Amino acid sequence: MPSTTALSGTTRLHDIADLVAAVPHLLGFHPTESLVLVCLTKRKKRTRVGLALRVDLPAVENRPAVAAQLLAPVLGHKSTRIVAVVVCPGAPAPWPAELPHAGLIAELDEAFDAAKIRFRHAVWVESIVDGAVWRCYDEPDCGGVLPDPATNALAAASALAGNVTFASREELRALLDPAPPDVLARRTALIDALLDGSGGLTPPGFDGPAAALRMVHDTIEATEQHRLQLSDEDVALLAMGLAHHPVRDACLATVLGDRAEAAERLWLELTRAVPGPERAEPAALLAYSCYLRGDGALASIALEAAEAADDAHCLARLLRVALDTGLPPGQIELLALDGVAQHRRLMETT
């Protein structure tokens, strides 16, 4: 749900149309059929854009639950004002005809008002494209047309930071599409063979956890140098190494080092390449890495992949709680520090 792209420096948005046009760059993708909340905070007499939250537009009976779900992260971030943006098709009649999902906005307004959080604006827009008409829910003279999102100030800042804004959440999700079924079947057979020959005390195929960790780091180095070529056997061994939790936990420390970007590319590649329940390990590492650098959209999708592979995965469950409550990334950095200690312990055993 939380999905704010991390940017450095200052980017000024001049009015509500600018802010709505910036939503795809805050989320990392262009939303459709969505409710987006943009949290605003006051700091040094300036209003700043903070957390961005997106959910699918709920059915009428689910509105109270969605309001409660959204309220928790907003309170956690100490937001003082909220801008709500409903993105969905519709051609509203002239005022005072009701805009689409007006009942949802009323439900949110009531729940947030009880928590002393005010809506600065509540806006409907059919889609976030150049020239799209937008309207406020409670002010007849509040509305207009959107500027081009591609030339928005936040678009330039996002591109400068190396971020990509995808055309849809589905296009973003496609980054993690698994390998073809026949490839996954071959790798499953190799993993099963490794498990059959293992005593269960060390990662199958390795002479102890330290050897597994060294292979992971050698593969990260190859990724950094653009030499990554993984055979089926490589994928099976890496999957088994990461399935050994002391090894996986030591890999959390990669977010703190110079090879954080290369490590994240490896976790993404392995999330696509690894079959079965073992896929949960690289997917959880990918979710953690994305979370810490502020890419909530990809973190959420990686977490979905981890949960689909293993619905009882402890790290994935922990990250799910953090994501759903909008916990600031810095507050889960302790996991990386624990990973540093775990890395030291494993390497000292050799």
Residue 243 in tokens: 């399935």
Sheet strand arrangement including 46-56:
46-56, 34-43, 81-87, 118-125, 133-136, 143-145
Every domain of the chain and the residues it spans? 16-165, 173-348
CATH topology of domain 16-165: Cytidine Deaminase; domain 2 (3.40.140)
pTM of the model: 0.83
Q: How many CB atoms lie within 10 A of CB 295?
A: 24
pLDDT in tens, the chain (350 residues): 555 544 444 444 458 898 999 899 889 899 999 999 998 877 666 667 778 889 999 999 999 999 988 888 888 777 778 899 999 997 655 655 688 999 999 999 999 988 888 888 899 999 999 999 999 998 888 889 999 988 877 665 665 556 778 889 999 999 999 999 999 999 999 999 988 876 666 788 888 899 999 999 999 999 999 888 999 999 999 999 999 999 999 999 999 989 999 999 999 999 999 999 999 999 999 999 999 988 888 999 999 999 999 999 999 999 998 888 878 788 888 888 888 888 888 888 65
Tell me the per-residue pLDDT of 237-276, one tens digit each, with 9 for 90 and over: 999 999 999 999 999 999 998 999 999 999 999 999 999 9
pLDDT digits (tens, 9 = 90+) for 183-241: 999 999 999 998 887 666 678 888 889 999 999 999 999 999 988 899 999 999 999 99
Q: Could you give the angle at which helices 16-27 and 153-160 cross, rounded to 10 degrees?
A: 30
81 token code pair: 């004002």
For helices 232-243 and 181-196, what crossing angle results, to 10°? 60
Instruction: Kindly compute the dihedral angle of the four CA atoms of residues 8, 12, 100, 150, in this order, to the nearest 10 degrees.
Output: -70
Buried b / exposed e over 105-139, threshold 16 CB at 10 Å, is bebbbebbeeeebebebbbbbbebeeebebbbbee
Task: State the pairing for strand pair 81-87/118-125.
Answer: parallel
SS percent in the chain: helix, strand, coil, step 5: 55, 15, 30
Helices 296-309/260-273 angle, 10° precision: 40
Under 8 Å between Cβ of 158 and 25: yes
Q: Which of 176, 185, 171 is nearest to 272 (CA)?
A: 176
Q: Does a cis peptide bond (omega within 30 degrees of 0) precede residue 277? A: no
